[in-house]
Amino acid sequence: MEEIANYEHLMSLMLSRRSVRNFKNQRIEREKIAKILEAAATAPNGLGSSDVEVLILDGNDKVEEFTLDLVNLLKKNKWIFSPLMLKAYKPFMSRETYKSIESFASTAIDTFLKKYEEGQNWLTYSAPLAMYFHSSPYADPIDPYIPATYAMLAAQTLGLGSCMIGTPQFILNFFGKRTKKKYGIPLKNKNGLMIIFGYPSVKYSFAIKRTFSDIKFY
């Protein structure tokens, strides 16, 4: 019988993982990419059959090309999030949605573009590897996010750092029809999450222990 990791082993792995956004200029071996995908494929799914697809951007050049495509989409469509347009949308949105767009989306777009012009990639952080997990509309909405999480944990065991990036999904779904076609992402696939990977250029000395906002026993 194969040895099964116990609770202490699992917690040690989880507590050792930190979101990494600074990477060495080192390409990730194909063997490690294969292991990440093999681990991610073991993730459960909501409807009993996998409808999850993975776009792999292997190499900094591929990640940067994808990033530039997203930047160009933001430049072309940033007017949609101008104060005047947001005011026009306001009657058709919930208060929470409006506040979220007003306080985060418009500010984030300006920041991404400004930093990119300054030579800093705050979208994909110039990672040497990125995987975009996405699923068809027939899948459970949560299906892409579980294998993406498994992929991050697998990467940790291989000496790699990782970080989840939600912005690409937002950009692709709102403005990226042609970009989706370029990268072979079906237009109907709306749920997705990008994970970036690389060898960390920094080493963290402590873990982050998060808590839930509330826990109730009934």
Q: What averages of pLDDT result for each successive group of 10 residues across the chain (218 residues)?
A: 82 92 96 98 83 96 97 90 79 79 78 94 97 94 95 97 94 93 95 97 84 94
CA distances from 218 to 115, 213, 215 (A): 48, 17, 10
Query: What confidence score (pLDDT) does residue 48 get?
Result: 64
Is residue 134 within 8 A of residue 185, CB to CB? The reply is yes
Separation CA 135–CA 176 (nearest Å): 16
From the list 202, 205, 163, 152, the residue with the least C-alpha distance to 23 is 202
Q: What is the CA radius of gyration of the chain?
A: 19
pTM of the predicted structure, to 2 decimals: 0.90
Map tokens 């999450």 to a residue. Answer: 193
